[in-house]
Every structure is written in structure tokens, then in C-alpha cells.
Amino acid sequence: MSNRTVLALILCFTLPAGAQAQPGAAVQRMVCSEAMGLVKKSGAILLNAGGSALERFVKDRSFCETSEIAELRFVPTRDNPECPVGYRCRELGFNDWDWQ
């Protein structure tokens, strides 16, 4: 089991009771402000942004590992085809460095 999977499972079981009903909610069924508000309120949450897998969205870099960056993530919502829902945490790759 990867570290990310373990972290996702921990988040699911440690979110406040009110937030536990929301993880996995389909972002496409929400308006942009609802989706953004859910991420901001939760800090970190698993949502369905399209497809079959859940994605982890965070409100800022403080919810990422120290070796990760926060990358703004745009997803389609009911009222906005490119809603800036929140950030996703990801490791820097070799191609992310400017070697010029």
C-alpha cells in the first residue's frame, strides 16, 4: 500500500463527523463556489472530479508533505468548466526543474 493510499485512508477516518458525509461527492454536480467552499472548509478532502478514482484536494500547501508542492487544480463543475477547486499535492519531477 502506498504512502498516499495510507494517508487517504487516515484522512477518511479522521475528518470531523460532518465532513465524513462529503468525501467522494461528485464535483460535477456542484456549483464552483460549493466545491471550492468544501475544500476550504475541510482543509483536505477526497472528491470525485470525474472518472472512477477519488482525488485528494487541499486548501493550501500546508496539507502536503514537505517534499511536495501544491498545484492548483481546475475541474469542471455544474456552472464552470474550469473551476479552481483547490490544490493537489505532488512531488516535483525531473522535468519540473529549469536546467538552462
Answer yes or no: is 97 within a domain.
Answer: no
Euclidean distance between CA atoms 58 and 87, whole angstroms: 5
How much is the pTM?
0.69
Euclidean distance between CA atoms 88 and 46, whole angstroms: 11
Answer yes or no: is 81 within a domain.
Answer: yes
Euclidean distance between CA atoms 27 and 18, whole angstroms: 18
Mean pLDDT of 61-87: 95
Answer yes or no: is 63 within a domain.
Answer: yes
Answer yes or no: is 65 within a domain.
Answer: yes
Answer yes or no: is 31 within a domain.
Answer: yes
Task: Yes or no: say if 46 and 12 are a contact pair by the CB < 8 Å rule.
Answer: yes
Enumerate long-range contacts of 39-45, CB under 8 Å, 24 or more apart: 39/85, 39/86, 40/86, 42/15, 44/11, 45/11, 45/15, 45/19
In tens, the pLDDT along 22-73 reads 557 889 999 999 999 999 999 999 999 887 889 999 999 999 999 999 999 9
pLDDT at 100 over 70: no
**Could you give the number of structural domains in the chain?**
1
* Containing structural domain, residue 87: 3-91
Answer yes or no: is 59 within a domain.
Answer: yes
Answer yes or no: is 25 within a domain.
Answer: yes
User: Does 99 or 79 have the greater pLDDT score?
Assistant: 79
**Structure confidence at residue 22 (pLDDT):** 53
